[in-house]
Amino acid sequence: MQLTDIMTQRLQNTGKIDSQKNDNNQKNVDFAEVLNEAIDSVAEQQKTADDDIKSLLAGESKNIHGTMIALEKAEITLKLMTKVRDKAIDAYREVMRMNV
């Protein structure tokens, strides 16, 4: 699955873009908006994982499996965001190397 497919799927799930699009009538999505949504998603996953860990350590929850799942989701989203950042930096450097 391509990175753009993952980001499009995430935006479709949040309702930011139409899931039913055809080639002639695509809805434009601002790149900065996509990045902000992705960053917010990563932050939310991290917060959820932190809350689950605190709840588990405080003895308020016995759901170790749910906590581990939340940790894995947070780790995966953070790795994805890191890859997106690296690709954006690489693209910026490539554009800066171009002769005008």
pLDDT tens, N- to C-terminus, the chain (100 residues): 555 666 666 666 665 555 455 454 567 778 888 888 889 999 999 999 999 999 999 999 888 999 999 999 999 999 999 998 999 999 999 999 998 7
Domain residue ranges in the chain: 31-100
CA distance 73 to 90: 26
Name the residue among 83, 73, 74, 72 with its Cα closest to residue 3: 83
pLDDT at 96: 93
**pLDDT attached to residue 72:** 95
Q: What is the pTM of this model?
A: 0.64
pLDDT of residue 22: 46
